[in-house]
Amino acid sequence: MVGFLVVVIVVVLAIWAVLTVILAMSFRTVVATNEVHIVQSRRKTTSYGKDQAAGNTYYAWPAWMPRIGIRIVRLPVSVFDVQLDEYAAYDKGRVPFVIDILAFFRISDSNVAAQRVSSVQDLETQLKGILQGASRSILAQSPIEEILEERAKYGKMFTDATNDQLKAWGVVNVKNVELMDIRDAKDSQVISRIMAVKQSLVEKESRVAVASNLQVAKTAEIVATQAVAVREQEAQEQVGIRTAQKEQAIGIAGQQAQQAVKEQEKTTAQKTMAVLEVNQVRQAEITRGVQVVNADQEKQMAVIRAEGEKQKTITVAEGALQQMKLNAEGVRAQGDAKGAAETAVLMAPVNSQIALAKEIGQNQGYQQYLVTVRQIEANQLVGIEQAKALTAAQVKVIANSTGPVDGVKSVMEMFTPKGGLQLGAAVEAFRNTEAGAAIVESLTGEKGNGGTGTRR
């Protein structure tokens, strides 16, 4: 009997142990890395989770179990956000508007948070209340225009205002509170009108800037056009100055060439006069010598008269020979001087032409100008000479051609074989008319046919 009881006790103990192990395995809890579990037992409150002193595992005995039963509050340790959407607020002037606020929080003291709330939803609700109170107190102190322009400033003010209150919940701000949107409340158009004013101001500034830019561009175009026109005028002025300088240089060169010719003519004339002077002096000396010899011969005795005549003849012959030599040298000197003068006269225009050609060799426009001037001068000279010839010939010209020059040219052909033939044909044709026959008969006495085409 005793043995049976022992067996029963052992079996019961074994069953109890197995049940205990099964229950322990069933209620063992491992806390997730982004959570913290606040366990409230009969005597104390302990936090379990990552980086917690008690570790991250515990047994979640039901609260109805005596002595070992516990209560659990699960809170996140990661960052979580709380949104306050379409919250009605007022500015300093009691202008109504609606705002959207977004805040980011983190639980810094899980034990304090567990004392304040029983769940995350309760925590979020209480945090929204904190945000509402901060927004009411801060926004009611400023005008709506300032709130619209300085959202970042008011977000920092919200953050600073909530920091002290969040410590009582074991929560801290992760970053500054953000004002996501500010808009008109129902039946209000204050913010819309402010935005319309801002838009019109931006449009005005943009249009003013565009007009200013267009003005600057137009001014720059005008300045550029003026600069180009001034440069063109300066270029034309430089061309005119250069052309005048070239014409002046050409004129000076021509005058210098003429002066050189005159100087050479002067030198030639001086040399010619010197030769003539030498001839006259030599002739006078010869004449005086002959007179002296004659006087001496008259004083000599008759016996030596023949010898005197001989010496006279010799002296006269030598004088003639000397005179001929001097005349030959004078003629040669005169010829040399004349040749040099003619060479200088002939080379002067050649040298001036060479200088002129070097000066204008690269200027095509000026070359064309010189050709045109020469053609005009040639036509002028031809016309003058033709007029002189016609005046000397006492010929009257009635020109029915394209111009006087062509008419004069036709008259000048009268003095050529072609003109003679044409003149004879004209006279013959005139003679064959009745009036021409009468005139010819009155002039020559010869009768014509009077237009019959035959002669008698």
Q: Is the pLDDT of residue 224 over 70?
A: yes
Q: Are 201 and 207 in contact (CB under 8 A)?
A: no
- What is the C-alpha separation between 124 and 80, in angstroms, rounded? 9
Q: Which range, of 11-20, 22-31, 147-156, 157-166, averages the lowest pLDDT? A: 22-31
- What is the C-alpha separation between 72 and 380, in angstroms, rounded? 133
What does the mean pLDDT of the chain come to?
77
pLDDT on residue 455: 42
State the DSSP code for 68.
T
When pLDDT is averaged across residues 163-190 and rounded to a whole number, the result is 84
pLDDT on residue 165: 87
Closest CA to 138 of 146, 232, 49: 146
- What is the C-alpha separation between 227 and 153, in angstroms, rounded? 54
Q: Is the pLDDT of residue 456 over 50?
A: no
How far is CA 454 from each of CA 431, 434, 447, rounded to the nearest angstrom?
Answer: 10, 12, 11
The better pLDDT of the pair 126, 426 is held by 126
Q: Is the pLDDT of residue 92 over 80?
A: yes
Which tokens go with 74? Answer: 């699960």
pLDDT on residue 451: 46
How far is CA 372 from each of CA 208, 246, 369, 414, 420, rounded to the nearest angstrom?
Answer: 61, 17, 5, 29, 34
The better pLDDT of the pair 195, 82 is held by 82
Q: Which range, of 114-118, 347-351, 377-381, averages the lowest pLDDT? A: 347-351
Confidence band, pLDDT 50/70/90 cuts, at residue 454: very low
The better pLDDT of the pair 259, 290 is held by 259
When pLDDT is averaged across residues 62-70 and rounded to a whole number, the result is 78
When pLDDT is averaged across residues 399-423 and rounded to a whole number, the result is 58
166 by Cβ neighbours in 10 Å (0-12 / 13-18 / 19+) ranks as: buried
When pLDDT is averaged across residues 76-105 and rounded to a whole number, the result is 86
Percent of the chain with pLDDT over 90: 1
The domain limits of the chain are: 2-73, 79-188, 198-360, 367-444
- What is the C-alpha separation between 326 and 283, in angstroms, rounded? 10
When pLDDT is averaged across residues 257-272 and rounded to a whole number, the result is 84
Q: Is it true that domain 79-188 has CATH number 3.40.50.620?
A: no
pLDDT on residue 452: 47
pLDDT digits (tens, 9 = 90+) for 273-320: 888 888 888 787 777 766 666 666 666 666 666 676 777 777 777 777
Which residues touch 249 (CB under 8 Å, ≥6 apart)?
359
Q: Where are the alpha helices (DSSP H) in 300-416?
A: 305-360, 364-393, 404-412
Confidence band, pLDDT 50/70/90 cuts, at residue 12: confident
pLDDT digits (tens, 9 = 90+) for 21-65: 777 677 778 778 778 888 878 778 788 887 777 787 887 877 777
